[in-house]
Amino acid sequence: VTVVPEEKEDAKSADGEEEFPEITEEMEKEIKSVFRGGNQDEILSEAFRLTITRKDIQTLNNLNWLNDEIINFYMNLLMERSKEKGLPAVHAFNTFFFTKLKTAGYQAVKRWTKKVDIFSVDLLLVPIHLGVHWCLAVVDFRKKTITYYDSMGGINTGKCGSFGNDIWICVLCLQEIPQQMNGSDCGMFACKYADCITKDKPINFTQQHMPYFRKRMAWEILHRKLL
């Protein structure tokens, strides 16, 4: 059985790229095997000085909430892809950055960019955890905007302002984006917003694509490469 979102089976972008590559039967078997029970501490993937255990990967199964490890690993995959010719240069902060910035201020996080010149990239990705909800902020140095992506439609000027005071001038909070229809997929939406944005592609998925995206992300993390 190949798994492809029903309405997007033949969807391709304008440049011919497959937007929803199929999950083959072989891939499906591998994904099911890691979603099944086993040693929860078994390391299934390592890269970017990060390790993903079976317990981590199982947060992608069904309606589980994604954890920090999965989101951080995926953000690193997006950064790795951004090195390809023709794509915007990307840096992603980890999931702990915004909380630290919000609670302790710029001085507490200024060393987090010691090894990277953030002003040399096109896009900064900032995953934001609001206790029980994941959102995404994107600093676009090309457009001089800070855009806040919330899959539950929140207009959070406070979150944008946290960046506007220290990093950039223009603040834009965006509402007209795909919205989640349950209480579990906010992490997936944040990751897939980032996926589209870092390819300079329209955000054209819906809630119905989430089961497919969860399986796809599991495979991508296991193989340390994006489809």
Instruction: Given the residues 186, 191, 195, 209, select the one marked as catalytic.
Output: 186
How far is residue 47's CA from residue 69's CA, in Å, rounded to a whole number?
12
For the question of residue 186 being annotated catalytic, the response is: yes
50-53 and 90-92 as β-strands: parallel, antiparallel, unpaired? Answer: unpaired
Catalytic residue among 122, 133, 140, 196: 133
Helix (H) or strand (E) holding 78: helix 68-81
Spatial distance between the Cα atoms of 145 and 222, rounded to a whole number of angstroms: 34
Q: Which residues contact 36 (CB under 8 A, 6 or more apart)?
A: none
Catalytic residue among 56, 150, 185, 195: 150
User: What are 91's strand-pairing partners?
Assistant: 124
Is residue 209 part of the annotated active site? The answer reads no
Annotated active-site residue 133? The verdict is: yes
The two three-digit tokens of residue 195, written as one number: 């996926």
Query: What letter does residue 20 receive in the DSSP assignment?
Result: S
The residues annotated as belonging to the active site are 133, 150, 186
